[in-house]
Structure 1
Amino acid sequence: MSEAMPAPASTAPSQGGCPIDHSALRQQKTARTIEPLDAPLERDAAGVWHVRGYDQARSILRSSATKQAGFKAELIERVSTRMREPILYQEGKPHHDQRRQTARFFTPKAVSENYRQLMVDFAERLLQVAKRERQIDLSLLGMKLAVRVAGEVIGLTNSRIPGMDRRLNAFFANDATTFGWSPRLLINAVRSQSRVLAFFYLDVKPAIEARRKNPGEDVISHLLGLGYNDAEILTECITYGAAGMVTTREFISIATWHLLEQPALRERYMGGDEDERQDLLQEILRLEPVVGNLYRRTTAAIEVEAGADTHTIPEGSLVNLHLYAINADETVVGESPLLICPQRELHNERAGAAVMAFGDGHHRCPGAYIALQETDIFLQRLLKLDLQVVQKPSVTWNDLIAGYEVRNFILTLR
């Protein structure tokens, strides 16, 4: 499932007008390799196209001639069923229709009005427990928060027994990213199936039963209204679980790590208004994208410009979009791309503060506002405490989401 990460890459310090002193800091903690910043588009010997430039990535992600090739998409294609595909894997009109219909759960207004108080109450409850115990395992605490919030949005609020966060953790720890018949893969498949069944019977099934009797304003109720069956709803819950729970947990951990390590950055964050705080969080996410690589498969030949050249990517090609490099494209982010700068001026009006950390195009992360708001609400309260890092976190790589995992992040309250 995961592999150990190398030591974090460092970069030469540069002030460049940034209000934060970078003179003695190493910034990027999670990148597996040091990405070349001068190769916006190239093809390797195996025929895989590698994208590291912002404009090239945007062109590909917005193309109608590509489809998902990450998050087990091609493995699932090989296991053909008559079920509807989860929204994560849909393309074309079915995908656009679903995104349009579910958008009401994810707009900034809906997120603030429907989930803000839940986030506040649950964050404060978690930290009350932490104050009593005087110790925090941040990855576990972040997962509890992310599961509670995403569970409300999805409709997973009727579990038969507590522990949905642990059940989801166990499922996403499975490393079945290939398909075959070796003994190891068969054992992994059986283990994965048992975890899926536990999640279904303990969490998903009771939520479905409750919403058949009394529909709510959540994703499961919406899917039931479209005639989805139990298995189809289960697959949606799993994909939303990966997107809305596992990744937000990592965002909370990496943002906390940077803010605790850099007192000036922490002070700036705590003193800012909501927009300023969320911009700073997006700058951290730009540097440390939770999903490090996005994969697409071309369904027709597409042309992509890189400098003075126009490249034709043939139909059926695998495209690997390197988000660490894309988010460090100096034509967009300016100088010192591997440092955190709260007042970074972007040189492309189409780019947001997180650049490509939430993706782009029709598969852009729909839960971006949820992740930002809940992380901000939690960190405002966490960072008011007198914290000490007892154990420096470990960083590994999860091949399922093509992203990092921050673990064993132990804090104590002084």
Structure 2
Amino acid sequence: MSSRKIDRTYEPDGTAVRVTGYAQAKEVLRSTGTVQAGLGVETVEKLPPSIRRPVLYRDGEEHREHRRQTARYFTPRRVDEHYRELMERVADEQLAHLRSEPAVDLAKLSFRMAIEVVSAVIGLTESRPGLDKRLDRFFPEKFGKPGFTSLHGIYWVFKQNFQFLGIYLADVRPAVKVRRRQRRDDLISHLIDEGCRDGEILGECLTFAAAGMVTTREFVNVVAWHLFTDDALRQRYTGGDETTRVALLHDLLRLEPVVGNLKRRTTAAIPAGEAVIPKDALVDVDVSTANLERADEGPGLAFGDGPHKCPGAYVAIQEADIFLSKLFAIEGLRMVKPPRVAMKPDISSYELRDFIISVRPPA
């Protein structure tokens, strides 16, 4: 397997208990004595109690029941039967852009692919054109800190609220309006059945946008980067059957997890190997380090583990394989310029941009 492309230099939070061992990390993530931390949970906790939190920020029985009721949308059988044809079609559409242009940014093609697939799963199917651009504005490379104590903070308050409103008006409200008239078999319809208000549905949709659209784009990009720069790996992938290709994708994801660090807060003293982490401790689970201990457990902890393990893991792997297998089957495919790497240090996640590829010979 190739060496890492992503420099995982990471400055741990000095106030957190850092966990780097694979077994200990899995133990923490599976523990019922922890709750979600990081990923903006501090902001969500400030919302009025009457507002239902997105599933990412809930724990305990409420969280388990929601996951139980929505698990059917993400089973391998459902994904294969309901979304494989869609994935094939969208991949062909995006690769048609590659064939028609002198060169394209792979990050844009892979993002449109991920958006189309996840939108179908959750029910964002009535969006106005430009959802990829709206999401790029909502999840910029560099975040400012909103607040009312400086002009910079006030700017980010209004900017963030403006982006919220844009996605609500152009994407969420049209989908909700259609499903309030006639229910469909998707996540938004389920949320309506549960009595969720439009703002609460918006929160869930943005959670799935971050966890399903944004992360899948980065995964596709980093795998492509490896395949472009390692001939033996590329031959193994393009010459293998689906089982072989998926195993290779799992291993690359283990090597290059999109989110390198996960945080939890303990609600009770919990074991972590031979140590005991005390109650009310912030725990920093170093997924990228822990994953290096294992080469035989698929993607390792790249999708998390325990109650908050990513429900869309199978969706991400299947769409990545469909897109990448079609991409690398194109004759004359070449990398014009490797991607520019940006990092989000709070969760040690990478973003690959300006990844220029072409199917035309060099001038």
TM over 0.5: yes
2:152 and 2:254 mapped to 1: Cα distance? 37
Q: Which residue of 2 aligns with 1:278?
A: 246
Q: Which residue of 2 aligns with 1:391?
A: 337
How far off its partner does 1:176 sit? 4.9
Q: Which residue of 2 aligns with 1:314?
A: 278
1:360 to 297, 305, 308: 305
2:24 and 2:150 mapped to 1: Cα distance? 39
Q: Which residue of 1 aligns with 2:8?
A: 32
| 1:257 counterpart = 2:225 | yes
Q: Which residue of 2 aligns with 1:403?
A: 349
Give a deviation string over 1:83-113, Cα, whole Å, max 9, x none.
Answer: 1111011101110011011101101101100
Give the alignment of 1:46-57 within 5 angstroms.
46-57=14-25
Identify which range, 392-401 or 277-286, moves more after superposition: 392-401
Q: Secondary structure at the match of 1:78?
A: coil
| 1:235 counterpart = 2:203 | yes
Q: Secondary structure at the match of 1:67?
A: strand
Give a deviation string over 1:233-282, Cα, whole Å, max 9, x none.
Answer: 00000101100100000011000000111111111111111111011011
2:59 and 2:100 mapped to 1: Cα distance? 49
1:399 and 1:156 mapped to 2: Cα distance? 30
2:177 and 2:345 mapped to 1: Cα distance? 34
2:35 and 2:13 mapped to 1: Cα distance? 22
2:167 and 2:10 mapped to 1: Cα distance? 38
1:70 to 27, 30, 38: 38
Give a deviation string over 1:55-100, Cα, whole Å, max 9, x none.
Answer: 1011111111111112101221134442111101110111001101
2:158 to 184, 190, 194: 190
2:305 and 2:27 mapped to 1: Cα distance? 9
1:95 and 1:390 mapped to 2: Cα distance? 45
How far off its partner does 1:116 sit? 0.3
Q: Secondary structure at the match of 1:88?
A: helix
1:167 to 134, 142, 145: 134
Q: Secondary structure at the match of 1:203?
A: helix
2:93 to 114, 122, 125: 125
Over 3 Å counting, the alpha-carbon distance change for 1:228 and 1:139 in structure 2 is: same
Q: Which residue of 2 aligns with 1:224?
A: 192
Q: Is the CA contact 1:157–1:207 (under 8 Å) kept in the aligned structure 2?
A: yes
Q: Which residue of 2 aligns with 1:268?
A: 236
Identical pairs, percent: 44
Over 3 Å counting, the alpha-carbon distance change for 1:45 and 1:94 in structure 2 is: closer
- Give structure 2 stretches of 5+ with no counterpart: none
2:316 and 2:352 mapped to 1: Cα distance? 17
Q: Secondary structure at the match of 2:257?
A: coil
1:249 and 1:180 mapped to 2: Cα distance? 34
Q: Is the CA contact 2:121–2:187 (under 8 Å) kept in the aligned structure 1?
A: yes
Q: Is the CA contact 1:290–1:404 (under 8 Å) kept in the aligned structure 2?
A: yes
Code of the residue aligned with 1:51 in structure 2: it is V
Give the alignment of 1:55-204 within 5 angstroms.
55-159=23-127, 161-173=128-140, 175-176=143-144, 181-204=149-172
Q: Secondary structure at the match of 1:355?
A: coil
How far off its partner does 1:31 sit? 2.9
Give a deviation string over 1:204-243, Cα, whole Å, max 9, x none.
Answer: 0000001111211111001001111101100000101100
How far off its partner does 1:299 sit? 1.2
Code of the residue aligned with 1:315 in structure 2: it is K
Q: Secondary structure at the match of 2:212?
A: helix
How far off its partner does 1:392 sit? 1.6
Code of the residue aligned with 2:85 in structure 1: it is Q
How far off its partner does 1:181 sit? 3.1
Q: Is the CA contact 1:175–1:400 (under 8 Å) kept in the aligned structure 2?
A: no
Identify which range, 100-109 or 389-398, moves more after superposition: 389-398
1:218 and 1:63 mapped to 2: Cα distance? 30
Q: Is the CA contact 1:75–1:179 (under 8 Å) kept in the aligned structure 2?
A: no
Give a deviation string over 1:20-69, Cα, whole Å, max 9, x none.
Answer: 6x6xxxx211133189xxxxxxxx89441111101101111111111111
**Please, what TM-score do these two structures have when normalized by structure 2?**
0.94
1:176 and 1:77 mapped to 2: Cα distance? 19
Give a deviation string over 1:342-377, Cα, whole Å, max 9, x none.
Answer: xxxx2xxxxx31111111001001000000000000
**Please, what TM-score do these two structures have when normalized by structure 1?**
0.83
1:47 and 1:400 mapped to 2: Cα distance? 13
Code of the residue aligned with 2:168 in structure 1: it is F
Q: Secondary structure at the match of 1:320?
A: strand
Q: Secondary structure at the match of 1:406?
A: strand
1:360 and 1:326 mapped to 2: Cα distance? 13
Structure showing the higher helix proportion among its residues: 2
Over 3 Å counting, the alpha-carbon distance change for 1:45 and 1:280 in structure 2 is: closer
Code of the residue aligned with 1:171 in structure 2: it is F
1:189 and 1:47 mapped to 2: Cα distance? 27
How many positions carry a matched residue from both structures? 358
Give the alignment of 1:279-294 within 5 angstroms.
279-294=247-262
| 1:304 counterpart = 2:272 | yes
